[in-house]
Structure 1
Amino acid sequence: MKYILATALLAICAGAWAGPAPWYQWRSKIDGTLSCAQTTLGFGWERASGPYKDSRCEKPALVK
């Protein structure tokens, strides 16, 4: 029981150090429209550029 509790606490603490997900600029395959999102917008979209720090895709993120 102690090991299960210790493992659960370790997992929670590891999540506390995680940073936010990066943002990417996505381009529509149909009409070329650009959009900024953290994950793909669906089948008809391809990643155009990124990663970015902000939701407006203006501040480039440092890639480690």
Structure 2
Amino acid sequence: MRTLLLTALLALSLPSLAAPAPFFLWQSKVDGHLTCAQTSPGEGWIAFTGPFRDAGCRVPYDAPVNRR
């Protein structure tokens, strides 16, 4: 019983250690359009710059986090 409880507690605590995936600014190979996403929008896109912390691709990933 103890082993089961310990395993369950460890399994539930692991996601709290995971960091969110970074965002990248992607550029279209066709028309140069830019979009911000965590993963590539498709084959016609190349990583332009990044990583960023926010979905607007404004805060660099290495910038300090403002915690309240």
Report which stretch shifted further, 18-27 or 2-11.
2-11
TM-score by structure 2 length?
0.75
TM-score by structure 1 length?
0.79
1:24 alignment counterpart: 24
Call closer, same or farther: CA 1:29–1:5 in 2, change over 3 Å: farther
Show structure 2 runs of 5+ residues with no match: 64-68
Q: State how many pairs are aligned.
A: 63
RMSD in angstroms over aligned alpha carbons?
Answer: 2.0
The percent of aligned pairs where both chains have the same amino acid is 46
User: Which portions of structure 1, spanning 4 or more consecutive aligned residues, are displaced by more than 2 angstroms?
Assistant: 1-12
2:15 alignment counterpart: 15
Show structure 1 runs of 5+ residues with no match: none
